[in-house]
């Protein structure tokens, strides 16, 4: 490598600093008209080497091979310097973007060109080099984050939260056609994975009235690592459930100390997963709203720790509709999701949202079965078109008790209309039971 003269080096540094000051985003090097990247020395990830002025987020096309098989699209913050793709999808292409979809974002320059990473950092063969041609299969559109779910097979995951299951749960889930299930602190995910489902392990506690500050970080991290060792194909680990909620974490759950403790826990989990599993680790999901359906204040605080924010694969929201005007509540709090995206540029996993048919009047409107089915279908439909919501797991599968609830089945296991609505969406069909 040639060493530049001191004057040229200083000139490049000044130019890079000016770009960063003007755009509020890192440039990682000299100015450029399109994003540039390279393989890391271990070849296990890509490294962003230059971002053009005005970049607000980075669009990534992730695929199984250089020919574009199984291409899926994600967006990451412009502050992200590296990206490690899933082991099953080792090829990555990148493009710089201005604002989010809600801000009429536009691409800046062209795609960087395909880079094929090597899971675990094994040296790649000479023929596994950069491919500059565009995809031949499932070609990325001009705006990858605006593709509808019908045009992105496998690109949007529709799923449910588990709970109050009967003996036929796996059969029912397979007939539903859902792709992912969220489990509360599972000891094993194998039965679900054997049924063809991706699993989000919501490592929810143990809850503490002292807030996140009361969590034993070493024990929590060790439990995460043990689960991944047991189930190496785990899709995602969710770091705590609703960590800003006083109902789980005590009266001071939203304190500055607890928010800072959450950032430290996120970093500790991330570092342990990287050390143990490298590129084969599951996604790490981190709570942005803290469990509050109307506010991102919890996340706005802890994401000031940029290391913690960068460590998260996705941020989570629980955008329940609450008890406001029915027309608005039945949509779910979509504005909360858009705010998370706008603030961070990170993809958002909606790991809880729902519309109960009974009970639960203390925190939600009560819906008819047809209203519940319509709200669920249309929330999936909306989320799949945003491009920055890759997964939604509705709450939930079965009612907690007879007389109604959030489930798409009664407590006795009888299908509600919402069961058909989920089945229709998963099959790419128009809703046959919606109002």
Closest CA to 225 of 180, 286, 270: 270
Beta bridge partners of 97: 57, 107
The answer to whether residue 410 sits within a structural domain is yes
Pairing state of beta strands 283-287 and 236-239? parallel
Task: Give me the percent of the chain exceeding a pLDDT of 70.
Answer: 82
Provide the residue range defining the domain that includes 306: 149-426
Structure tokens at 66: 């250089």
Is residue 47 in a domain? yes
pLDDT at position 121 is 63
373 occurs within a structural domain: yes
Is the pLDDT score of 5 beyond 60?
Answer: no
322 with 419, same domain: the answer is yes
Q: Which residue has the higher pLDDT, 371 or 149?
A: 371
- The percent of residues in the chain predicted with pLDDT above 90, rounded, is 60
Q: What are phi and psi of 92, to 5 degrees?
A: -130, 135
Give the per-residue pLDDT at 2.
35
Last residue of a domain, one of 115, 146, 177: 146
Residues 190 and 104 in one domain: no
pLDDT band at 194 (very low <50, low <70, confident <90, very high): confident
- Does residue 291 sit in the same domain as residue 327? yes
Mean pLDDT computed over 291-298: 94
Q: What is the pLDDT of residue 166?
A: 61
Alpha-carbon distance 274 to 292, whole Å?
A: 30
Confidence of residue 269 (pLDDT cuts 50, 70, 90): very high
Task: Report yes or no on 433 lying in a domain.
Answer: no
| Alpha-helix residue ranges (DSSP H) falling in 121-238 | 169-176, 190-194, 217-230
Asked if residue 196 and residue 122 are part of one domain, the reply reads: no
Section 56-75 average pLDDT: 83
State the CATH number of the domain containing residue 84: 2.60.40.10
For residue 288, the domain's CATH number is 3.20.20.80
* Most confident range, picked from 10-14, 25-29, 144-148, 362-366: 362-366
Average pLDDT of the segment spanning 60-89: 82
Q: Answer yes or no: do 128 and 247 share one domain.
A: no
Shared domain check, 157 and 28: no
Looking at the structure, tell me whether residues 284 and 390 fall in a common domain: yes
Q: Which of 95-99, 226-230, 352-356 has the lowest mean pLDDT?
A: 95-99
1 located within any domain: no
Q: What integer pLDDT is reported at residue 146 of this predicted model?
A: 31
Higher-pLDDT residue of 167 and 410 is 410
Regarding whether 181 and 114 lie in a shared domain, the answer is no
Q: Which two tokens stand for residue 372?
A: 């519940």
Higher pLDDT, 22 or 229: 229
Q: Are residues 13 and 26 in the same domain?
A: yes
pLDDT at residue 9 is higher than 80: no
Burial of 247 (0-12, 13-18, 19+ CB in 10 A): exposed
Single out the residue in 117, 146, 175 at which a domain terminates: 146
Within this chain, do residues 137 and 201 fall inside the same structural domain, yes or no?
no
Instruction: Tell whether 100 and 173 lie within a shared domain.
Output: no
SS3 breakdown of the chain: % helix, strand, coil, rounded to 5? 35, 15, 50
Tell me if the bond preceding 396 is cis, omega within 30° of 0: yes
431 lies in some domain: no
The total domain count for the chain is 2
86 and 230 belong to one structural domain? no
- Domain boundary among the residues 99, 126, 146 is at 146
């Amino acid at each position: 490598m040639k060493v530049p003269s001191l004057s040229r080096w200083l000139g490049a540094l000044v130019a890079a600093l000016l770009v960063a000051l003007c755009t509020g985003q890192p440039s990682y090097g000299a100015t450029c008209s399109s994003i540039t990247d390279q393989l890391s020395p271990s070849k296990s990830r890509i490294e962003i080497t230059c971002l053009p002025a005005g970049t607000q987020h980075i669009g990534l096309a992730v695929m199984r091979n250089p020919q574009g098989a199984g291409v899926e699209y994600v967006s990451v913050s412009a502050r992200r310097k590296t990206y490690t793709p899933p082991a099953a999808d080792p090829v990555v292409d990148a493009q710089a973007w201005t604002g989010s979809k809600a801000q009429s974002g536009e691409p800046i320059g062209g795609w960087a060109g395909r880079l094929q990473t090597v899971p675990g950092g094994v040296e790649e063969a000479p023929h596994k080099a950069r491919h500059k041609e565009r995809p031949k299969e499932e070609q990325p559109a001009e705006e990858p984050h605006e593709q509808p779910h019908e045009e992105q097979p496998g690109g949007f995951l529709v799923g449910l939260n588990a709970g109050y299951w009967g003996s036929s749960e796996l059969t029912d889930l397979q007939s539903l056609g859902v792709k992912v299930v969220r489990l509360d602190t599972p000891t094993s995910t194998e039965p679900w994975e054997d049924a063809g489902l991706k699993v989000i392990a919501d490592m929810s506690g143990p809850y503490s009235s002292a807030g996140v500050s009361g969590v034993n970080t070493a024990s929590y991290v060790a439990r995460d690592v043990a689960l991944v060792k047991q189930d190496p194909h785990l899709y995602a680990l969710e770091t705590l459930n609703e960590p800003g909620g006083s109902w789980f974490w005590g009266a001071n759950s939203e304190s500055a100390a607890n928010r800072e403790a959450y950032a430290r826990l996120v970093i500790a989990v991330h570092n342990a997963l990287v050390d143990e599993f490298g590129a084969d680790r599951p996604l790490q999901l981190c709570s942005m709203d803290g469990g509050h359906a109307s506010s991102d204040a919890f996340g706005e605080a802890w994401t000031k720790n940029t290391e913690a924010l960068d460590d998260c694969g996705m941020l989570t929201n629980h955008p329940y509709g609450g008890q406001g005007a029915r027309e608005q509540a039945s949509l779910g709090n979509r504005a909360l999701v858009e705010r998370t995206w706008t603030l961070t540029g990170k993809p958002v996993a909606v790991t809880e949202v729902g519309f109960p048919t009974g009970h639960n009047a203390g925190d939600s409107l009560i819906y008819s079965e047809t209203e519940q089915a319509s709200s669920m279908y249309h929330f999936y439909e909306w989320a799949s078109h945003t491009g920055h919501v890759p997964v939604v797991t509705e709450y939930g599968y079965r009612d907690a008790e007879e007389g109604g609830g959030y489930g798409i089945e009664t407590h006795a296991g009888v299908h509600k209309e919402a069961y058909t609505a989920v089945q229709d969406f998963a099959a790419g069909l128009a809703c046959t039971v919606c109002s």
